[in-house]
Amino acid sequence: MAKPKGKTACTLRLVAEAAGDTQAPGAKPDPRLVNLVRLLARQAAREFARSIEEGQADQRPPA
């Protein structure tokens, strides 16, 4: 686990966006955010598959 560096944010900026699924024309999502979402999705899929496998292992008849 990472050690805290003792730094805190002094200000917080809140930006409100209009509701809706459409983006502004020509706007591209931040590639870092896209990569983060993909990484988290893969991790969640692995954990889900692992939990399914563990559940099936508990339900198998003894050999």
The pLDDT of residue 22 is 66
∠ CA 39-12-26, nearest 5°, is: 55
- CA 10 vs CA 4, 7, 13: distances in Å: 16, 9, 10
Task: Provide the residue-wise pLDDT of the chain in tens; the chain has 63 residues.
Answer: 566 666 666 777 777 776 666 666 678 889 999 999 999 999 999 999 999 888 876 666 666
Diameter of the chain by CA atoms? 62
The pLDDT of residue 54 is 84
